[in-house]
């Protein structure tokens, strides 16, 4: 997300990835309180957990074909 995107796009339109990026920046801000820092850490955990399924690529293991039963030996 560029600065221009940040300024022009309302936060209500942000994706989970946008919020994760914001949280990863804010958690390191020297101007926030420890309570705010904990909030952003929790937000990162929550967003990362939900995105863990999105990061996997390819078919799920249970969706892979197991063969048609005609093995040649």
* Residue numbers of the domain that contains 32: 14-52
Give the count of domains, the chain: 1
With respect to residue 5, please indicate whether it lies within any of the assigned structural domains.
no
Tokens 């048609």 correspond to 68
When pLDDT is cut at 50, 70 and 90, the band that residue 4 belongs to is: confident
Residue with the bigger pLDDT between 9 and 28: it is 28
When pLDDT is cut at 50, 70 and 90, the band that residue 64 belongs to is: very low
Residue from 62, 20, 73 nearest 42 by CA: 20
Give the other-Cβ count within 10 Å of 23's Cβ.
19
With respect to residue 8, please indicate whether it lies within any of the assigned structural domains.
no
**Is the confidence at residue 12, as pLDDT, over 70?**
yes
Residue with the bigger pLDDT between 11 and 5: it is 11
What pTM did the predictor assign? Answer: 0.56
One-letter-per-residue 3-state SS of the chain: CCHHHHHHCCHHHCCHHHHHHHHHHHCCCCCCCHHHHHHHHHHHHHHHHHHHHHHCCCCCHHHCCCCCCCCCC
């Amino acid at each position: 997300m560029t600065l221009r995107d940040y300024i022009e796009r309302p936060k209500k339109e942000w994706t989970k990835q946008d919020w994760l990026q914001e949280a990863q920046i804010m958690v390191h801000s020297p101007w926030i309180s420890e309570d705010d820092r904990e909030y952003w850490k929790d937000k990162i955990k929550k967003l990362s957990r939900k995105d863990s399924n999105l990061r996997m690529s390819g078919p799920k293991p249970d969706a892979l074909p197991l063969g048609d039963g005609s093995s040649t030996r």
